[in-house]
Amino acid sequence: MEVLLMEEKIIKMIKNYVAAYPHSEGTGWKEPLVAFAAAGDPLFRELRKIVQPAHALPQDFLPAARSVITYFLPFRDPVAESNIAGRHCSRTWAVAYIETNRMIGELNAYLQQQLEVLGFEAEHLPATYNFDKKTLLSGWSHRSAAYIAGLGTFGINHMLITSKGCCGRIGSLVTDLELKPTPRPEEEYCLYKSDGSCGDCVERCVNEALFYDHLDKQQCYRMCLENNERLQGLESETDICGKCMVGVACSHIKP
Ligand code: SF4
Ligand code: SF4
């Protein structure tokens, strides 16, 4: 019988769970990417300087934390394509966002339960944790955790570019199980950061929020709220946009 390492077991659990998860017609996910970080990686403490002073550490969720499990759930191509045209977010993109957030919660609860069966503790974090609508800062950045775990590098659109692009959602959870950290990429995946080319995302911004050297978060959020107003009748809030992630070089691949 094949004996899997714990890292391989967790990757398999995540892939199988996502493959079997129900979704609406026209949405759905490609095979996820998974990466692990050491909970003691000094970069987690650096997030208090880079992201915000109140950014949590893995140990704040689980005092005996040893590892952070992160994963990227890539949307299927038609989900991203549905969001290319026009100023406003497509309904398909919004439904995919809601379904993915729901799945992240349930997948994390499943992983926590499976780890407990194996004798380990885990603490799962919601898709959005302590998001402050005034400062637009979160108490835990899944994207930053995934960067630390080696899932990809940041583009100038402030998204994490993975080997399967940036169109999708990221989840993470903390455990006291020791997992081998995934090596971080040595190169920048964003073309503008690596050689000054591209800039597609800046060109695609629909609300003059994204620039080559910064993102105006408040201006970006105004667009997200505009979309939320228009997308009535969905089961939860959809203060999202995503126009700078679709129809660009890094949407589905590492360019
Ligand atoms: S669209 Fe181009 S410049 Fe923008 S994040 Fe992607 S690779 Fe970088
Ligand atoms: S999410 Fe929308 S408003 Fe915000 S930077 Fe991207 S395109 Fe611009």
Q: What is the CATH number of the domain that holds 145?
A: 3.40.109
Kindly give the number of the ligand 2 atom that is closest to the alpha carbon of 216: 5
Asked whether 10 lines ligand 1 (CB < 6 A), one says no
Please tell me the residue having the least CA distance from ligand 1 atom 8: 190
Range of the domain at 48: 6-194
Query: Beta-strand (E) ranges in the chain?
Result: 33-38, 67-74, 122-124, 152-154, 160-162, 168-175
Distance, first Cα to last Cα, the chain: 39
Whether 242 maps to a domain, the answer reads no
Asked whether 244 lines ligand 2 (CB < 6 A), one says yes
Distance 190 CA to ligand 1 centre (A): 5
Whether 43 maps to a domain, the answer reads yes
Per-residue pLDDT at 2: 62
Whether 29 maps to a domain, the answer reads yes
Q: Which amino acid is at 31?
A: E
Q: Which amino acid is at 154?
A: F
Segment 183-225, tens digit of pLDDT = 999 999 999 999 999 999 999 999 999 999 999 999 999 999 9
Asked whether 128 lines ligand 2 (CB < 6 A), one says no
Whether 54 maps to a domain, the answer reads yes
Beta bridge partners of 29: 75
**Domain count within the chain:** 1
Whether 252 maps to a domain, the answer reads no
Segment 34-63, tens digit of pLDDT = 999 999 999 999 999 888 888 889 999 999
Rg of the chain over CA atoms, in angstroms? 18
Whether 236 maps to a domain, the answer reads no
Whether 62 maps to a domain, the answer reads yes
CB-CB neighbours of 213 under 10 Å: 6
Nearest residue to 47 (alpha-carbon basis) of 137, 178, 130: 137
Q: Which of 220, 238, 240 to mutate to test the pocket of ligand 2 (most atoms within 8 A of CB)?
A: 220
Q: Give me the sheet containing 67-74, strands edge to edge.
A: 33-38, 67-74, 168-175, 122-124
Asked whether 240 lines ligand 2 (CB < 6 A), one says no
- Collapsed DSSP state (helix, strand, coil) of residue 35: strand
Residues lower than pLDDT 50 in the chain: none
Per-residue pLDDT at 8: 96
Asked whether 89 lines ligand 2 (CB < 6 A), one says no
Whether 200 maps to a domain, the answer reads no
